[in-house]
Every structure is written in structure tokens, then in C-alpha cells.
Amino acid sequence: MIGNSIAGFLGTGVAVSASSYESIATATGTGLSGTITFSSIPSTFKHLQVRVLGRSTYAGTQDDFNIRLNGDTGSNYSQHALGGNGGSVGAFGAASQTLGGSTNYAWLPGATAAASIMGVSIIDIVDYENATKYKTMRGFCGADFNGSGSSNLWSSAWLNTAAVTSITLLTNSTGFFTTTSTFALYGIKG
């Protein structure tokens, strides 16, 4: 699968084979909530991966989303991002954040974007069970806003050594995940 080939590069720089991925859970947006949570994550994998094909009900062209691990609402996240849209580039960095991911760089089309446009994100959570180091997340996301799209790379650290047992995705505005939005959590074997 091309998705597995593109998504499968981890810290070793070696592509992970499609057989190394195991589906843990899937979810679909309700159109009434800006939150998706994967909980009771098993401890039997080396890494985790979240895949998003999404859209928001936000009354604008685009919305953003972020990540919270284990329900931690403290200022325990850092965010870094680099993005471009074919005409300009931008960068972002912040420490002591209450959410992981990258505000303004994990884009979803909003309600005023063309109806057929969806955003895509692939997010790796590296060594999610390792109790001796902070957790690192990295993502690739993009959307084609009908000729003015963008693609973005971001990384984030959760400054906590606890094993990741839940992942919550949250829209960054008043928008909700549409009923056409799909979310999948995979475990990656070590």
C-alpha cells in the first residue's frame, strides 16, 4: 500500500513494511463534536500512527487541529512546524503549550472550502511506551484548497515520560469534525 510506504519512515530512516502495521481503532466525525479520542491503547507496539482524512464545520476556508496525550491539559508540549503553499513558506515554534501538534499547521478544510476538498494528516508517536524519555510526535499534513493548498511538516514533544494510553484530536476553533472525517489508529511493530 502506498499509504504505508509513505507513512512508514521512522527514526531509523528505513521504511516499515506494510505488515508491520496493525489496526487498533477507527473513528468517524459526528458533525457535532470537535474531539476524537482513542483510549485504552495497548502496550504491545513500538510506535503509534494516526491517520486523518478530515474536514471541519468551521465557518471559514480552513480549521486546524491539535493533539492531547493522556488528557494532559498542562503546559507540557512544544510545537514546531514548517509549511508552504507554493507561493510562500512559513515556520512556527512555541514552548509551554497546552496542546501538542502544531497550531496553524495541521489544516482541515472548513465549511466555505469546496465540498469535495478533504485534508490529510499522518502522525507518528515514537516510542510511546518508553518510560525513560519524553514522547515525540511528528506529522505531515496537507490539503488542496482548490489551487491554493498547502503541505506542512511539524513535530511536537510531550514533556512527560508516561506511556501513552490515550490520544485526543481537537479542532482549534468552533468547528466540528464532519461526518465525512475518518480517523485511524495503528500500532507499528518494533
9: β partners: 15
User: Residue 67 belongs to what domain range?
Assistant: 22-188
> How confident is the model over 9-19, as pLDDT tens digits?
444 444 678 78
Q: What is the β-pairing status of strands 150-158 and 77-84?
A: antiparallel
CATH of the domain at 174: 2.60.120
Residue 5 lies in a domain: no
* Residue 11 counted as domain residue: no
Ordered DSSP codes for 8-67: TB-TTSSBPPGGGEEEEEEEE--SS-SEEEE-S--S--SEEEEEEEE-B--SSSEEEEEE
In a domain, 14, yes or no: no
Is 96 inside a domain boundary?
A: yes
Q: How far apart are CA 168 and CA 100, in angstroms?
A: 10
Query: 163: which DSSP letter?
Result: P
Q: Is residue 122 part of a domain?
A: yes
Q: Is the pLDDT of residue 135 over 70?
A: yes
* pLDDT tens track for 34-61: 999 999 999 999 999 999 999 999 998 8
Longest dimension (CA), the chain: 46
13 CB-near residues (< 8 Å, 6+ apart):
none
Flag whether 172 is in a domain: yes
108 neighbors 171 (Cβ within 8 angstroms): yes
Mean of the pLDDT values across residues 171-183?
93
Domain count of the fold of the chain: 1
pLDDT tens digits, 91-108: 989 999 999 987 666 678
- Is 3 contained in some domain? no
155 vs 86: CA distance, rounded Å:
21
pLDDT at 32: 97
pTM above 0.85, yes or no: yes
The reported pLDDT for the residue numbered 72 is 97
